[in-house]
Amino acid sequence: MKWEDLRRSNNIEDMRGSTRSSRFSGGSTNNMRFLVPVMKFLVGTKYGRIVLVIGVIAYFLGFNPLALLSLVDVPQRQEQSLSTPSVKENNTAEFVSVVLGQTEDVWHKLFAKEGMQYKEPKLVLFRGSVNSGCGYASKQTGPFYCPADKKVYLDMSFFDELKNRHNAPGDFAQAYVIAHEVGHHVQNLLGTLNKAHKAQASSSKKEANVIQVMVELQADCYGGVWAHYLNNILDSGDIEEALGAASAIGDDTLQKQAQGYVVPDAFTHGSSKERVKWFSQGYKYGAIKACQTGI
């Protein structure tokens, strides 16, 4: 995908620096709480006063004497450096911003064509875990859309998983994932998600899964609709990358990998064949009405 010179979206919320482990929070307060009694003890003894004098000298020489007593969170600086995004990760974040911007451009036009107004979603980049309008989520949740706050959530480590675990490499495989989640936002704006949730509430687990599969396949189709309008910026093989990703994360493929057999009644996203079919359908026709999966 020729993306480097394309418009970046202004709807990125970068929370990657806000998901650092909480074991370091309140460090200064905790340090002072433990430091006061230690200081009183040292001042009250001859050898303690000597230790304090040595500590003061060490401090002015640039060494933190409290580190020897484990009273300061020495690993905190290391934690901060580890949480600093790498050049590769920042480049991926730029790519995500471009893809989101392209979805905005396409869906604005398609909604206007239908006499509707497209309201852009936010996309939250996080690391490890995040609190969303739909509750707490970890990176194990995978990318998801929350209709309550109209935001897409993405831990970019999923892209590594997509490449290494599911054998679906390529930038347009990543673009497919984002377009799929934006597809859920389109469903939310059109009222489809609300309709589906109401239907699921009065259904059995098996029936609810069938409804969810129709929702997910329609989001795949909407991803294909978006891709339909990108021919001038697509590289050779991009669509194949998207189809490869769709196939790699089909329910049957994932179930077979995890447990060695397939349980169709437990499908929630559709089989590999179905996911490829509906993305291809959207890509072929480039129209909302092409994505009637039954929901």
| pLDDT per position as a tens digit, 102-155 | 999 999 999 999 999 999 999 999 999 999 999 999 888 999 999 999 999 999
pLDDT for 277: 98
In 3D, which of 213, 129, 222, 214 has the Cα closest to residue 184? 222
- What are the boundaries of each domain within the chain? 22-83, 86-291
- For 11, 91, 114, 120, 242, the CA distances from 97, given in Å and listed in that order, are 8, 10, 26, 13, 18
pLDDT at 22 over 90: no
Q: Which residues pair with 125 in a beta bridge?
A: 14, 154
pLDDT for 158: 92
Q: Are residues 212 and 200 in contact, defined by beta-carbon separation less than 8 angstroms? A: yes
pLDDT for 85: 73
77-97 per-position pLDDT tens digit = 433 434 577 888 899 999 999
143 backbone φψ class: left, alpha, beta (φ>0; ψ -120 to 50): beta
pLDDT for 24: 30
pTM confidence score? 0.78
Residue of higher predicted confidence among 164 and 71: 164
pLDDT at 30 over 70: no
